[in-house]
């Protein structure tokens, strides 16, 4: 009888061990599944960030081309060849529409100077309130809400009424 009890106790111990092992394996499997899910999310996020950085770098490299397009349009407006002006304007518009669809936006340059969005190239005396943007020399751009180039502007400096100078 004692032998049967001993066998029964051993069977109970092995069953308990198997249940414990099963619970540990299940827990390890769940932990591994969670780690894999986190890995997938992290890599997806890293790929998206790399894509955005790549687009931003490409667009930043294209800014001089955009500036040259704008200068060409201004020069062509003074010429007699309106067909050429229309063609270049269409190309410029298509390029800008494509870049805007991909996250590029112009920095607004109305009203007061903002040191976080504008760069002062020159200060000109004016009857406007001091710090008012008088002219945009070079457009500024943002990509995905982050500035990639500040706008270059000319701002007002108030004229001293007594002698015409400040």
Considering the domain delimited by 106-166, tell me its CATH architecture.
Roll (2.30)
Q: What percent of the chain has pLDDT over 90?
A: 60
Domains of the chain by residue range: 106-166
| Sheet of strand 118-126, all strands in order from the earlier edge strand to the far edge | 118-126, 151-158, 133-138
What token pair was written down for 16? 């308990």
Radius of gyration of the chain (CA): 34
Which pLDDT score, from 0 to 100, does residue 9 have? Answer: 62
pTM over 0.85, yes/no? no
* Predicted confidence (pLDDT) per residue in 57-113, tens digit: 999 999 999 999 999 999 999 888 888 999 999 999 999 999 999 999 999 988 899
Nearest alpha-carbon partner for 121 in 157, 156, 152, 158:
152
Residue 55 sits at the vertex; the CA angle it makes with 89 and 151, to the nearest 5 degrees, is 60
135 touches 154 (CB < 8 A): yes
């Amino acid at each position: 009888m004692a032998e049967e009890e001993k066998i029964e106790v051993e069977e109970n111990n092995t069953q308990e061990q198997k249940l414990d092992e099963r619970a540990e394996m299940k827990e390890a499997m769940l932990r591994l599944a969670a780690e894999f899910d986190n890995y997938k999310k992290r890599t997806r996020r890293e790929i998206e960030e790399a894509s955005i950085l790549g687009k931003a770098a490409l667009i930043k490299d294209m800014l001089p081309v955009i500036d040259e397009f704008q200068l060409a349009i201004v020069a062509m407006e003074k010429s007699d060849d309106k067909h050429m002006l229309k063609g270049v304007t269409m190309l410029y518009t298509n390029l800008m529409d494509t870049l805007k669809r991909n996250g590029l936006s112009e920095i607004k340059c109305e009203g007061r100077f903002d040191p976080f969005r504008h760069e002062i190239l020159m200060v000109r005396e004016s009857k406007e309130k001091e710090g008012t943007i008088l002219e945009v020399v070079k457009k500024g751009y943002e990509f995905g809400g982050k500035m990639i180039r500040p706008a270059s502007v000319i701002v007002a400096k108030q004229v001293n009424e007594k002698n015409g100078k400040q």
